[in-house]
Amino acid sequence: MTDLTSLTIAEAREGLASKSFTSLELTDAHLTAIEAARSLNAFILETPDQARAMARAVDAKIARGEGGPLAGIPLGIKDLFATRDVRTTACSKILGNFVPSYESTVTSQLWRDGAVMLGKLNNDEFAMGSSNETSCFGPVVNPWRREGSNTTLVPGGSSGGSASAVAALLCMGATATDTGGSIRQPAAFTATVGVKPTYGRCSRWGIVAFASSLDQAGPIARTNRDAAILMRSMAGHDPKDTTSVDRPVPDYEAAIGKSVKGMKIGIPKEYRLDGMPAEIEKLWTEGAAWLRAAGAELVEVSLPHTKYALPAYYIVAPAEASSNLARYDGVRYGLRVPGRSIGELYENTRADGFGHEVRRRVMIGTYVLSAGYYDAYYLRAQKVRTLIKKDFEDCFAKGVNAILTPATPSAAFGVGEKGGADPVEMYLNDIFTVTVNMAGLPGIAVPAGKDAQGLPLGLQLIGRPFDEETLFSLGEVIEQAAGRFTPPKWW
């Protein structure tokens, strides 16, 4: 029954309910697929024994008619989520062999609803990266290749393991996190659906912190419906995260297939960049046409501070990171490199434990927060952030329901191709996604087509705060028009 891995979550849910197969069979099919796909380096820790135990337990529940909304569905978990008794490293050497004695709220809600954990997924170290090349476990390989080429491509990042594993049919869905585009950019690079929920929609408790005012957890799945199913379990109020919002979690799946007739969709002119590839431009126009054909009204809108989002992000995010990562000191957990004094112990541990990208960001963050520079950098960036948010508010106040943009400025690129000489080259990947984090809004990336080399491209929809449902409805329209894309298996 090897084709079990190609089912969607919605299909598997039906098959499990009708007893066509068991969760153990479904789980085993995925464990076999994971084993055969080790060359992709998507899973950095496989937990087959735990997966089978969870599957058996949920099979018993299903037999008693007690299965939850995700009963028996095998998932992959980004290594940023703390998993009880299972090594959690954020793909950083500095966390070493850290084994949490607690479970993140988001994953605990997935297990509450019956999901099965297959293992931990690779990501950029502390989620800092756009290509999954900064992981201490090495880069993840994108299951997609250029037509007629063997060049190894990145899956995007930081949730590269999640995107690669979902695209390669190694798990039915995955958890991911998004600070500047880390769910949506890899989703676009792998033809998967990635949702960055409104800030506060999912609890951040138990997720390794990068930039706390920007971080949000969300799902990566193969269809809009599957992403909606996962979202319902992941979202919800958590007293342990004071920024989590206390409002009811809607049935996101009910938004799939809902009419988008009469909706006003904004096309922001500032996203039309000089030198944007013609294929991206074409895809964007095509996406707009699909939504128009479904009854939506397309309007040009202006988000005048768009170009300042990325530079403001590269002050705010490193500043918060430098503060959050101060906890890695070689004393309480993780790596410890000895020194003659405690100061030396800190410095040696952090020099050896942090990779280059993390070290660079911690240093820039330290600088922009240091005495004499705080006003010029950090305070100014937070003011610019207010203006970015206001751009969106003005747009929504005019009756715009959602905004359509490209998800990324290019398709997936080769390992080692970007950011070698100038880190900013890599940062530009997030130019279309980072505004959403700065404004705390929900965003979704949906597969919409392929470039001339056969690589997937995605479109992004940006919604009003806590209106993920509209994004699912619109995403479904694009999915129905564009179809689904699966990479040919070569691994």
Partner 1 sequence: MSVDAATVRRIAHLARIAVTEAEVPHLQGELNAMLAFVEQLSEVNVDGVEPMTSVTPMEMKKRADVVNDGEIPDDIVGNAPETQNHFFLVPKVVE
| Catalytic residue IDs | 78, 158, 182
Contact 335/93 with Cβ under 8 angstroms?
Answer: yes
Nearer to partner 1, 289 or 363 (CB): 363
As measured in angstroms, the least distance from the Cβ of 388 to partner 1 is 9
Alpha-carbon span 42 to 10, nearest angstrom: 23
> Cβ neighbours of residue 272 under 8 Å, at least 6 residues apart?
281
Which residues 6+ apart lie within 8 Å of 220 measured at CB? 159, 162, 163, 166, 173, 174, 175, 176, 183, 186, 187, 192, 193, 194, 195, 227
CB of 443 to partner 1, least distance (A): 14
Q: Based on CB atoms, which residue is closest to partner 1, 5 or 177?
A: 177
Reading the block at residue 378, the tokens are 């950090």
Q: Which amino acid is at 341?
A: S
Residue 12's identity, in one-letter code, is A
Nearer to partner 1, 392 or 413 (CB): 392
Look at strands 264-268 and 297-301 and give their pairing.
parallel
DSSP string, 337-401: ---SSHHHHHHHHHHHHS-HHHHHHHHHHHHHHSTTTTIIIIIHHHHHHHHHHHHHHHHHHTT--
Least distance CB 332 / partner 1 (angstroms)? 6
Would you say 243 or 453 has its CB closer to partner 1?
243
Cβ atoms within 10 A of the Cβ of 348, count?
A: 17
Measured from the CB of residue 187, what is the shortest distance to partner 1 in angstroms? 22
Q: Is residue 389 within 8 Å of 435, Cβ to Cβ?
A: no
Report which of 270, 74, 68 is spatially closest to residue 175, judged by C-alpha positions: 74
CA–CA distance, 478 with 475 (Å, rounded to integer)? 5
- The set of residues, in sequence order, having a beta carbon less than 8 Å from that of 156 and lying 6+ positions away, is 130, 131, 132, 142, 163, 185, 186, 187, 188, 189, 190, 408, 412, 429
- The count of other CB atoms within 10 Å of the CB of residue 138 is 13
Residue 201 C-beta: closest distance to partner 1, Å? 9
Residue type, 67: G
- The Cα 193–Cα 221 span in angstroms is 5
Helix (H) or strand (E) holding 218: strand 216-221
Which residue number, 3 or 274, has a Cβ lying nearer to partner 1? Answer: 274
Shortest CB 274 distance to partner 1, Å:
15
Q: How many Cβ atoms sit within 10 Å of the Cβ of residue 440?
A: 18
For residue 269, the one-letter residue type is K
Task: Kindly report the backbone phi and psi dihedral angles of residue 283, in degrees, each rounded to the nearest multiple of 5, phi listed first.
Answer: -60, -40
Taking the least distance from each CB to partner 1, the nearer of 237 and 264 is 237
Nearer to partner 1, 326 or 452 (CB): 326
Residue 233: CB minimum distance to partner 1, A: 21
Q: Which is nearer to partner 1, 285 or 386 (CB)?
A: 386
Written as one letter, the residue type at 69 is P
| C-alpha closest to that of 358 among 14, 95, 156 | 95
CB of 12 to partner 1, least distance (A): 34
E strand or H helix that includes residue 472: helix 468-482
Minimum CB separation from partner 1 for residue 347, in Å?
4
- Which lies closer to partner 1 via its Cβ, residue 21 or residue 466? 466
